[in-house]
Structure 1
Amino acid sequence: MKYFNHKDINSLDKIYRINLINSCSGFKSANLLGTISTKDITNVAVFSSVTHLGSNPPTLGFILRPTTVPRNTYQNIKDLGYFTINHIWEDIIEDAHHTSAKYPDDISEFDMTNLEPEFKGEYKAPFVKNAPVQMSMKFIEEIYVPSNDVMLVVAQIQELYVENELLQNDGLINLSKGNIATINGLDTYAIPKFKKQLSYERPKNIKN
């Protein structure tokens, strides 16, 4: 087994270190965040850091890199207060990944890919058409993490759309039925498959 200590990691080639550390935490969620500017220009961008924070209220968060350079997604969220989260599925992986390219704020990534915006529900933010799971989100707060100079953006689910065949009777969204992608590292995508659903675990009886 290959071993790295803290000194080893810090002395690695930059690209090798980025790939290593971005992949060592395991598979990450693969989502497209949809926003719209005050000038009605749509924006869509891939994020691999969306994570569950709580179920009541239904809250998700994602990590934003330093805002020392323009971040169109962040600016649109702060201006309008709403955005969408859309699961990436197998058929759109290449187009979804291309949204990581840095376009100026007057160009929509929807226009540069085959992704299509979809407007529905109560809030003015574009969904990604045909995404098997879509959520409209309300910005709640941002928490600065000084040790890494990043921001945790916290938002609550306002609307949730789920393809019928993915939703189980117990409320579980079976993502494998929608060929939902996951991200390994920065630029590697995989399609996980359902293996087994286990029951809620309780402690075993302990004998004195």
Structure 2
Amino acid sequence: MAAFSIDDINEMHHLYRINLINSCSGYKSANLIGTKDKDGNSNVAIFSSITHLGSNPGLLGVFMRPTTVIRHTYDNIKSTGKYTINHIHEGIIEDAHHTSAKYAKSVSEFDVTKLEEEYKNEFPAPFVKGCPIQIAMQYQEEYHIKVNNTILLVGKIEKLYVENELLEKDGFINLSKGKVATINGLDAYAVPELKTRLEYQRPKQGFAHRDG
């Protein structure tokens, strides 16, 4: 098994280090965030850092890179408070990946890819048409991560749209049925298949209960 010390990591070529550290945490969510600025310019960008923060209320977090350079998604969210989260599926992987390219604010990624804007129930931010899961979000708060100057942005789910065939009787969303993609590192995509679901686990008889 390969082993890397902190000194090894610090001395690596920067591209090797980026690939290594970005992929060592495992598979990540693959999502498109849709926003619109106050002038009506739409934007869509790929993110692999969206995470569940709570169910009541429904909260999702997304880690944003440092704002030392222009970040259109972050700026649009802060100015309007509204954004959408859309699950990337197998059919749009290449176009979704292209949204990571840096375009001018006046250029919408919807115009340079085959991704299509979709608007629902007067929500101001664009959804990505055809995504099996679409989420309307409202900005709540943010936290500055001092060690690397990133931002954890917290939003509340305002409305959730799920394709009917993905939704199980108990509320579970079966992502496999929607061919929902995941990201390994920065540029590798996979479409996982559901293997099994397991029951809620309780301590075995005869063993002491522990907190946490």
TM (normalized to structure 1)?
0.99
Distance 2:137 2:125 in 1: 9
Deviations 1:12-55 (A, max 9, x none): 11000000000000000000000001110110000000000000
Are 1:128 and 2:128 matched, yes or no?
yes
Question: In structure 2, the residue corresponding to 1:111 is in which secondary structure?
Answer: helix
Q: 2:41 is matched by which residue type in structure 1? A: I
Aligned-partner Cα distance in 1 for 2:204–2:56: 29
**Counterpart of 1:58?**
58
1:164 alignment counterpart: 164
- Equivalent residue, structure 1, for 2:149: 149
Distance 1:201 1:5 in 2: 36
Q: Kindly state the Cα deviation for residue 207 of structure 1 after the two structures are TM-superposed.
A: 5.3
SS, match of residue 59 in structure 2: strand
Gaps of 5+ in 2: none
CA distance in 2, matches of 1:207, 1:123: 52
Q: What corresponds to 1:37 in structure 2? A: 37
Which residue is equivalent to 1:174? 174
> What is the number of equivalent residue pairs in this alignment?
208
Hey, what does 1:74 align to over in structure 2? Answer: 74
Identify the residue that residue 200 of structure 1 maps to in structure 2.
200
| % same residue | 60
Amino acid at match of 2:67: T
Letter of the structure 2 residue corresponding to residue 198 of structure 1: L
Q: Deviations over 1:106-138 (max 9, x none)?
A: 010000000000000242000000100000000
* 2:191 matches 1:191: yes
**Which residue is 1:102 aligned to?**
102
| One-letter code aligned to 1:199 | E
Structure 1's unaligned 5+ residue stretches are none
In 2, the alpha carbon distance for the partners of 1:153 and 1:121 equals 24
Q: Is 1:8 the counterpart of 2:8 in the alignment?
A: yes
Pairwise CA RMSD of aligned residues? 0.9
TM-score computed with the length of structure 2 as normaliser = 0.97
| 1:205 partner letter | Q
Measured in 1, the distance between the counterparts of 2:122 and 2:9 equals 47
Aligned residue identity for 1:170:
D
Q: 1:206 Cα shift? A: 1.8
The residue type paired with residue 168 of structure 1 is E
Is 2:82 the counterpart of 1:93? Answer: no
Task: Name whichever of 198-207 and 105-114 sits farther off.
Answer: 198-207
Residue deviations 1:87-115, cap 9 Å, x none? 00000000000000000100100000000
